[in-house]
Amino acid sequence: MKSLCIILVAVCVLMLAMGSSARADEITFYLNQPECTGGCGAGTAPPLISNSAAVEIIVDLISSTSATVEFLAPGSSKVDTPAYINVNDGGVVGNVGATVSILGGVTRSDPGQAEDHFGNMNTWTGAVQAPTVTFTLTANNGFSWTDAADVLMPTTGYGAAYSQGFEAVTAGQDAGYFRPVPEPASIVLFGSGLLGLAGFVRRRFSKW
C-alpha cells in the first residue's frame, strides 16, 4: 500500500512536469496593438483591441532547426497581408530559410523591412490575403532555436509610443509580441500539495 501511494504521487508529479515541458514548444500571442497616429510620442499608444478581434500568432517549434509561425484571422475574416515577422536568425540571412503558404513568396533581409512605428521585421510575405498564413522556417549553417519563444524576437527601431519591440505585424497595422506568462499560482500550489502528500504518506506508513 505504501509503495502504491508513493508511486501514484510520483506519477502525478511526472505528468505535471511533462505537461509543462510540452507547452514550452508552442507559444501563442495576438496582434492586438494598433498603430499610433499623429505625433506618436511616448505614452500615446492606442488601447489594445480584444484578442477575439485580433489575428492570432502560433509559433510551433517542431525541432531545434524547424519551426512554423501561423497567422490566424479572427472569425471569417482574412489576414491583411503582407504579413511580417521578425525571425531570430542570429543576424545572418543565410542562417534561416523560409517558405510561406500563400502566393507571393517570402522576402528576407537584415536589418529588414521598416514597419512604421512597429520596427524592423526581417521576413515577410506577398500581398495575397488568406484566412491563414503559415511561415515554415528552417535553420541552417549549424544555427538552431532552444524553444518556441526563441524563434521570433523583438524588433528594433519602433516608435516612441511603445515601450517594447514587436515580433509580428500585418498590413492592417496591428502588431503583437510574446510576453512570457508566469506559471499560474494554482499549478505551483498543486505541485507543492503533491510533494506534501508524498511526505505525509511516507511518514504515515513509516509508523506501520
Give residue-wise pLDDT tens across range 117-154. Answer: 999 999 999 999 999 999 999 999 999 999 999 999 99
H or E segment and range at residue 170 = strand 168-170
d(CA 83, CA 129): 9
CA angle 60, 184, 9 (to 5 degrees): 95
The three cell numbers of residue 72 are: 490566424
Domain assignment present for 152: yes
Domain assignment present for 108: yes
pLDDT value at position 200? 44
Domain assignment present for 134: yes
pLDDT value at position 131? 97
Which regions in the chain score pLDDT beneath 50?
1-2, 4-23, 185-190, 193-195, 197-198, 200-201, 205
Domain assignment present for 4: no
One-letter amino acid for residue 103 of the chain = L
Q: Which domain holds residue 83?
A: 26-181
Domain assignment present for 80: yes
pLDDT value at position 7? 40
Domain assignment present for 58: yes
d(CA 86, CA 119): 9
Domain assignment present for 126: yes
pLDDT value at position 6? 42
Sequence-separated (6 or more) residues with CB below 8 Å from residue 185: none
d(CA 106, CA 29): 22
Domain assignment present for 52: yes
Single pTM value for the model: 0.78
3-state helix, strand and coil shares in percent for the chain, rounded to the nearest 5: 25, 30, 40
d(CA 42, CA 193): 45
Residues in the chain: 208
Residue the block writes with cell 511580417 = 84
pLDDT value at position 39? 79
Count the domains in the chain: 1
d(CA 167, CA 158): 11
